[in-house]
């Protein structure tokens, strides 16, 4: 469905310009280029259609309220860690990230409570400002069930499309896996009534300006499903198209799963790209640093 800006003087919000002469063609109004796709067009499930960063931060802060004081009380320990000589603490991996985090929470303490890496995701989605260490705009959001990872991905998708005016798509990997299997087993399942091939299913996703692949870890174990999804990521990597994946675990955990279908593909390049993704972990940003102190 074509939509226009409600205040547009040419189409009055219809998105189409009709000539008084019925013999002349109807044109799509230029104001439609300024509008991001709506939630339904993006493929957002009903549960996530109202997702945005403002609502997410509010929900997250409420969920973390009971542990906020205990986390903030440990900030002096982290400042002391930075102040100690290198020969005493050794090379501190991620030092720059810790410095930036402490600077941010001095201005607004909630930055220390937000999910680790989520501020970077929000800045990228809303302003396009983020330095990707490995070139490809790939995000990996991980955390346990009900941690908010899918909601955060949906918020990023909406913010990105609103900023750029381009489209995107939110895809359940579990549903996509079953649809791919139906393309192979149509005789048995009778689900593929449109007689779509795997190519028909994957090609539209390859060119999406932004693609969210939700619940990546719920991919079917059929190796042909894995091959199709690997091909999808290979194409998006080659075309440098931004992609967001959500899962319950970090990408390194796949290496330890012998029966994981991607492991059986033996695609080292794919694993290297996934390990190089920008991370968002659904725990307060201060928590991983405090855990490191306690392990020392």
> 237 and 137: one domain?
yes
> 24 and 166: one domain?
no
CA 80 to chain centre: 34
- Nearest CA to 276 out of 95, 135, 92, 122 is that of 135
Angle at 70 between CA 67 and CA 73, to 5 degrees: 145
Whether 127 is covered by a domain: the verdict is: yes
Whether 240 is covered by a domain: the verdict is: yes
The dihedral over CA atoms of 25, 28, 31, 32, expressed in degrees to the nearest 10, equals 170
The Cα 195–Cα 197 span in angstroms is 7
Q: How many CA atoms lie within 13 A of 128 on its CB side?
A: 6
Q: How far apart are the first and last CA of the chain?
A: 58
Whether 107 is covered by a domain: the verdict is: no
The Cα 149–Cα 248 span in angstroms is 9
Q: How many domains does the chain have?
A: 2
> 52 and 8: one domain?
no
User: Beta strand pairing status for 211-214 and 138-142?
Assistant: unpaired
> 144 and 52: one domain?
yes
Cross-strand pairs, 211: 169, 243
> 124 and 22: one domain?
no
Place of tokens 């719920």: 218
Whether 137 is covered by a domain: the verdict is: yes
Residue 203: give its domain's CATH number. 3.40.50.300
> 215 and 252: one domain?
yes
Q: Which helix (H) or strand (E) holds 173?
A: helix 173-184
Q: What is the pTM of this model?
A: 0.82
Whether 94 is covered by a domain: the verdict is: no
Whether 245 is covered by a domain: the verdict is: yes
Whether 19 is covered by a domain: the verdict is: yes
Domain coverage including residue 24: 1-33
pLDDT at 259: 75
pLDDT at 1: 46
Neighbour-count burial for 108-125, b at 16+ CB within 10 Å, e otherwise: eebbbbbbbbbbbbbebb
Residue pair 270/262 in contact (Cβ under 8 Å)? The answer is yes
Q: How many CA atoms lie within 13 A of 283 on its CB side?
A: 13
pLDDT by 10-residue block (mean), the chain, 296 residues? 62 73 65 60 88 96 91 93 80 86 91 94 94 92 96 96 90 93 64 67 93 95 93 96 97 79 88 94 94 80
User: Assign residue 165 a region: left if phi > 0, alpha if psi is -120 to 50, beta otherwise?
Assistant: left
The Cα 52–Cα 49 span in angstroms is 9
The Cα 4–Cα 10 span in angstroms is 10
pLDDT at 198: 86
């Amino acid at each position: 469905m074509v939509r226009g800006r409600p205040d547009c003087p040419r189409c009055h919000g219809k998105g189409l310009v009709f000539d008084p002469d019925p013999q002349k063609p109807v044109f799509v109004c230029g104001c439609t280029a300024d509008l991001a796709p709506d939630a339904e067009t993006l493929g957002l499930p009903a549960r996530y259609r109202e997702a945005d960063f403002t609502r997410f931060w509010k929900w997250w802060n409420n969920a973390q309220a009971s542990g906020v004081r205990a986390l903030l009380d440990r900030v002096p320990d982290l400042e002391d860690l930075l102040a100690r000589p290198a020969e005493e603490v050794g090379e501190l991996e991620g030092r720059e990230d810790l410095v930036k985090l402490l600077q941010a929470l001095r201005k607004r303490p909630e930055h220390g409570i937000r999910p680790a890496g989520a501020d970077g995701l929000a800045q990228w989605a809303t302003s396009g400002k983020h330095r990707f260490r490995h070139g490809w705009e790939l995000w990996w959001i991980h955390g346990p069930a009900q941690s908010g990872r899918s909601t955060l991905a949906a918020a990023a998708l909406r913010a990105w499309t609103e900023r750029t005016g381009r489209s995107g798509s939110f895809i359940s990997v579990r549903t996509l896996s079953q649809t791919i299997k139906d393309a192979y087993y149509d005789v048995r399942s009778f689900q593929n009534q449109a007689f779509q091939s795997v190519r028909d299913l994957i090609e539209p996703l390859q060119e999406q300006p932004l693609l969210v692949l939700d619940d990546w870890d719920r991919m079917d174990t059929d190796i042909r499903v894995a091959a199709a999804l690997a091909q999808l990521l290979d194409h998006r990597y080659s075309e440098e198209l931004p992609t967001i994946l959500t899962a319950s675990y970090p990408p390194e955990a796949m290496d330890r799963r012998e029966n994981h279908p991607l492991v059986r593909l033996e695609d080292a390049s794919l694993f290297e790209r996934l390990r190089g993704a920008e991370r968002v972990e659904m725990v307060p940003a201060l928590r991983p640093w405090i855990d490191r102190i306690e392990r020392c």
